[in-house]
């Protein structure tokens, strides 16, 4: 969610019992505005919070002119001091996917793999050391997984130029209430997968400048999203059952929207059995 509108945005998603204390909200809001100035980001988003056993990671994302370009990610343990996270790699995501259990809240904490593959065994023979992964790398990989799986935007909020860059749509005035209640009105803000498999006939009714992403209506498993009206029907709220703690909000007929994550950073692997 946009850092400049953080106090209001956090209030709109507080219906699920998630959020920050008024004191922490004020400190975080001021800190994010300074972060934008110091790092010269065009926009700063408050991504959310991963709760560990001994502490929490507060995550922010810095954006440049091309909104679809890789974002700079930073974390803080106290909402005041921020540190840049390293860029995500496929190896990080693979390694983090083999880890289970809660985060510790210590970026320097090192995990040992409970299961070794052939590559790990070969490395152990060469180096004589157990393969390890730092929690900082696990944080990066988890943010990437959540952004790809459940990071969403309303249809029409962004436009794609003929040159391929993505920017905010200045003509976007929000979805109507009827459209805002449909999963097809929301897109995954990541590289599309299903769109590439559509036939030319299916693409005929799509606008290439706005319909360049995958919609939520075909997410697997079906039923992994809940859509609710809150604040007296004034706000549409989507919650992910796959990554519990991810909440998206949109105020129909306005430009107010965003998502935030408050959780343990663990995927809900039991979801298929819950539906």
pLDDT digits (tens, 9 = 90+) for 87-97: 999 999 998 98
pLDDT of residue 114: 62
pLDDT of residue 124: 52
273 domain-assigned: no
Q: How many domains does the chain have?
A: 2
Q: Based on the domain organization, do 123 and 180 belong to the same domain?
A: no
Token duo for residue 255: 């430009």
pLDDT of residue 122: 60
Question: Residues 114-134: what's their mean pLDDT?
Answer: 62
Structural domain boundaries enclosing 202: 3-86+142-267
Q: Based on the domain organization, do 135 and 262 belong to the same domain?
A: no
For residues 265 and 56, give the distance between their C-alpha atoms in angstroms, rounded to a whole number: 11
Question: Residues 40-54: what's their mean pLDDT?
Answer: 95
236 domain-assigned: yes
Q: Based on the domain organization, do 253 and 180 belong to the same domain?
A: yes
Confidence category of residue 128, pLDDT binned at 50, 70, 90: low
119 domain-assigned: yes
Q: Based on the domain organization, do 188 and 209 belong to the same domain?
A: yes
List strands edge to edge, sheet with 246-250: 83-84, 72-76, 56-63, 43-51, 257-263, 246-250, 235-240, 225-230
SS3 2: strand
**Range name among 12-16, 24-28, 257-261 with the lowest pLDDT average:** 12-16
pLDDT over threshold 90, residue 145: yes
pLDDT digits (tens, 9 = 90+) for 214-266: 999 989 888 999 999 998 889 999 999 999 999 999 999 999 999 999 999 99
Q: Based on the domain organization, do 57 and 148 belong to the same domain?
A: yes
Q: Based on the domain organization, do 196 and 234 belong to the same domain?
A: yes
Q: Based on the domain organization, do 125 and 156 belong to the same domain?
A: no
112 domain-assigned: yes
Share of the chain above pLDDT 70, in %: 92
pLDDT of residue 43: 93
Whole-prediction pTM: 0.90
For residues 175 and 255, give the distance between their C-alpha atoms in angstroms, rounded to a whole number: 9
Task: Give phi and psi for 252, each to the nearest 5.
Answer: -55, 145
Confidence category of residue 103, pLDDT binned at 50, 70, 90: very high
The last residue of a domain, from among 141, 176, 207: 141
Closest CA to 215 of 184, 194, 181: 184
pLDDT of residue 126: 62
pLDDT of residue 118: 59
Q: Based on the domain organization, do 96 and 116 belong to the same domain?
A: yes
**Range name among 15-19, 59-63, 133-137 with the lowest pLDDT average:** 15-19
pLDDT of residue 132: 81
User: Is-contact 263 6, C-beta < 8 A?
Assistant: no
274 domain-assigned: no
Q: Which residue has the higher pLDDT, 198 or 88?
A: 88
Q: Based on the domain organization, do 201 and 231 belong to the same domain?
A: yes
Closest CA to 142 of 184, 101, 187, 183: 101
225 domain-assigned: yes
Q: Based on the domain organization, do 190 and 221 belong to the same domain?
A: yes
Q: Based on the domain organization, do 147 and 248 belong to the same domain?
A: yes
Q: Based on the domain organization, do 188 and 234 belong to the same domain?
A: yes
Share of the chain above pLDDT 90, in %: 64
């Amino acid at each position: 969610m946009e850092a400049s509108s953080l106090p209001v945005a956090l209030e709109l998603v507080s219906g699920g019992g998630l959020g920050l204390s008024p004191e922490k909200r004020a400190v975080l809001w001021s800190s994010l505005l300074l972060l934008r100035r110091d790092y010269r980001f065009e926009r700063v988003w408050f991504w959310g919070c991963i709760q560990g056993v001994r502490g929490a990671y507060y995550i922010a994302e810095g954006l440049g002119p091309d909104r679809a370009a890789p974002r700079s990610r930073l974390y803080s343990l106290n909402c005041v001091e921020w540190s840049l996270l390293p860029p995500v790699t496929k190896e990080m995501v693979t390694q983090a996917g083999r880890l289970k259990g809660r985060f510790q809240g210590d970026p320097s904490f090192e995990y040992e793999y409970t299961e070794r593959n052939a590559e790990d065994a070969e490395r152990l023979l060469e180096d004589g050391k157990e393969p390890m992964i730092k929690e900082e790398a696990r944080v990066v990989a988890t943010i990437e997984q959540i952004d790809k799986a459940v990071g969403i935007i309303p249809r029409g909020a962004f436009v794609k130029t003929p040159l391929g860059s993505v920017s905010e749509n200045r003509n976007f005035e929000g979805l109507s209430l009827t459209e805002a209640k449909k999963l097809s009105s929301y897109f995954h803000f990541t590289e599309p997968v299903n769109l590439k498999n559509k036939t030319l006939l299916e693409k005929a009714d799509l606008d290439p400048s706005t319909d360049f992403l995958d919609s939520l209506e075909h997410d697997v498993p079906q039923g992994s999203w809940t859509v609710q009206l809150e604040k007296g029907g004034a706000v549409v709220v989507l919650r992910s059952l796959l990554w519990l703690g991810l909440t998206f909000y949109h105020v129909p007929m306005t430009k107010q929207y965003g998502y935030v994550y408050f959780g343990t950073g663990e995927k809900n692997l039991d979801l298929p059995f819950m539906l």
